Amino acid sequence: EATCTMQAARCPTDELSLTNCAVVSEKDLQSGQHVTVKTTPNHKFVFTVKGHHTVVPGTIAFSLAVYSVWCFLSLAVSNYNFDKSKQCIGAMTIEIDFLQKKSTDSSPYDSDKMAAEFIQQFNNQAFSITQQLVFSFCDKLFGLMIKDIEAMDASILKGEPASGKKQKIDIGLMVGNSQVIFEKAESSSLTLVGKAKTKEARQTIINPDWNFEKMGIGGLDKEFSDIFRRAFASRVFPPDIVEQMGCKHVKGILLFGPPGCGKTLMARQIGKMLNAREPKIVNGPEILNKYVGESEANIRKLFAEAEEEQKRLGANSGLHIIIFDELDAICKQRGTGASSTGVHDTVVNQLLSKIDGVEQLNNILVIGMTNRPDLIDDALMRPGRFEVKMEIGLPDEKGRVQILTIHTNKMRGFGLLAPDVNIKELAAETKNYSGAELEGLVRAAQSTAMNRHIKATSTVEVDMERAEKLQVSRDDFMGSLNNDIKPAFGTNQEDYASYIMNGIIKWGDPVTHVLDDGELLVQQTKNSDRTPLVAVLLEGPPHSGKTALAAKIAEDSQFPFIKICSPDKMIGHSEISKCQAIKKVFDDAYKSQLSCVVVDDIERLLDYVPIGPRFSNLVLQALLVLLKKPPPKGRKLLIIGTTSRKDVLQEMEMLDAFSTTIHIPNISTGEQLVDALELLGSFTEKERANIAHQMKGKRVWIGIKKLLMLIEMSLQMDQEYRVTKFLSLLRDEGA
């Protein structure tokens, strides 16, 4: 950098001195560039340059405030370039006083207008700490001194959300959205009004050093930003603007969703992220008291502090957070309780009038949590009370990566996690796991790893030499995945494994066709936005393997949620409890993004018998409704039904509820029978040839399941009688 020495001078005109620029001859420097001015080796200031023809070359002119200090100095002047990403001014604090003591007056000056004027006048200009300025406002001259400069957050400049870091700088560049705060000098008689006069009055309610990972919440970013937008955006804004908009704050948030997904965790952390006082946490059942009026008094106590503070401080009152865990315990639908006292009802009434009654509180935030939103009284759910309803659902794959990372962070830090553990792979394997189940999985893997290091001699002791080398490996996680922790929602592998015990025997084209059609329907469910609900009925004669095929299609779909709704789980249920059990399977399915429900053996579910003829109308109506009810927005559902009495379902008008019907045939020709025998591989080749010869050109009619049975029976005979026994069994079956 070329440095030249210049002589300090006075600005030729008053207008020039009000610009607070360094004025030079146009021969020396160009207008608009920035220069560093060194007075002594340790003191330097940065000025923005303005060229003017009246200035003598070799001199540099300043406003009187600066010149009076530097009048006889020769200054070292060099070029200066700003780093826009780090040196834009975010906030600048300026001490202000009248320039001449004799021109004081007592009229109030609006600091907001002053700040706006200041930013307009000095846009794109350089400022240094302790620099003196002259400023004209409302025809009065003011002397300013810069006390403090804070850099603008680099992430805001990129258009991202603020990172919340505060960076002090000595030299900054004024930009259009800088913030200017005026403080009057101590001895000054100046009167300032407006927001820009103080920094402290407006306390921010968001804690600056706050981040999700540290808080131990994963997979809820979208939910958090939604809650933030609805509940806190209005509280972060300056109160005056909120007042001008006539906007009321949100007072209540209801978090609901399946157990173990982080509702309570989230509420706990909302308290931490805000600079509010510690939230009051209330467990629903604690409120209730057997004495008349005590339960309501408990509710009133919760709100007493907030009421008192609101009366005292009005709009400046801090935020009071009250968290109700298990809200359904106290806010049941009114008029449903069987008890004569109706304690519940009065508690609900008391809560309603406190949150949004005639005397409104504007400084509370009530957070309720429940996994049974259907039980809660409707009056609580209206806007003004629990206005923001947030479903905290099962985490998706990205969320699971975050959650597993959080729970394994400590082990990773201390090198206790084996290098072969791949979090991404684990997240892909754990479809439909809730946050709590993922935590359980990590715990189970840890205990498996620890168990390897325990010597079970006569006493149980830890093998100290090996314990030093303890590492939790991928096998520990996989073992726990398969044996210890199963998701409450989602697929139960054992469920459908038992239906496909002997595998699928593709004895002919009909079987392949069924599987292909099934695959098509799975793809349709996955990819089509127009049909989020696909229902298919597999019908065919008994023993033709319908359930096995349905289970196979479901398993191959790889959907995260697969449930089989089968009559064997409902033996002896009453009609009503049967309906509830079926409804629960569907309700669970709606919670997952992609689900498949197999409704097995429909005529058994309906208690149908040909004698009499009788069936359960209640269950029939429930199924008809569920088969047609589309899943919630953004969720997809495939329903596979099986039945061997298509004619009966036709009469019950149930066939129309299915999108399509697939027929599952029996084995009908001798060739198909021989193919099936070959695939099953039970008879020797010679025996098979013998059977093929006997069956040539004959028609048969037998289900694959029945065929398996007959083969296994005939295999119990001695070698030479096996074929004859098999053929005679076939004949007896009328096949």
CB 640 within 8 A of CB 599: yes
Pick the catalytic residue from 197, 354, 546, 591.
Answer: 546
280 is catalytic: no
What DSSP element (H or E) covers 345?
helix 343-356
Contacts of residue 630, defined as CB under 8 A and 6 or more positions apart, other chains included, come to: 532, 533, 637
Q: Which two tokens stand for residue 672?
A: 């198909």
Pick the catalytic residue from 28, 153, 588, 600.
Answer: 600
Burial of 144 (0-12, 13-18, 19+ CB in 10 A): buried
Helix residue spans in 591-721 (DSSP H): 602-605, 617-628, 646-651, 670-680, 685-695, 704-714
In angstroms, the Cα distances linking 441 to 419, 431, 481, 490, 648 are: 18, 13, 7, 16, 47
CB 644 within 8 A of CB 650: no
Pairing of strands 533-539, 59-62: unpaired
97 is catalytic: no
Rounded to 5 degrees, what are φ and ψ at 692? Answer: -60, -40
Pick the catalytic residue from 44, 199, 248, 705.
Answer: 705
Buried b (16+ CB within 10 A) or exposed e, 399-428: bbbbbbebbbeebeeeeebbeebebeebbe
Contacts of residue 70, defined as CB under 8 A and 6 or more positions apart, other chains included, come to: 8, 39, 62
636 is catalytic: no
DSSP state of 657: G
628 is catalytic: yes
698 is catalytic: no
Under the phi-then-psi rule, with left for phi > 0, alpha for psi from -120 to 50, and beta for the rest, what region is 697? left
Q: Which residue pairs from 452-458 have beta carbons closer than 8 angstroms and sit at least 24 positions apart in sequence?
A: none
601 is catalytic: yes
Q: Would you say how long the chain is, in residues?
A: 735
- Is the torsion defined by CA of 434, 440, 441, 442 positive or negative? positive
Q: Which two tokens stand for residue 237?
A: 């804004």
Pick the catalytic residue from 36, 448, 547, 643.
Answer: 547
DSSP string for 287-340: H--SSTTHHHHHHHHHHHHHHHHHHHHGGG---EEEEEESGGGT-BPTT---SS
Residues with catalytic roles: 546-547, 600-601, 628, 705
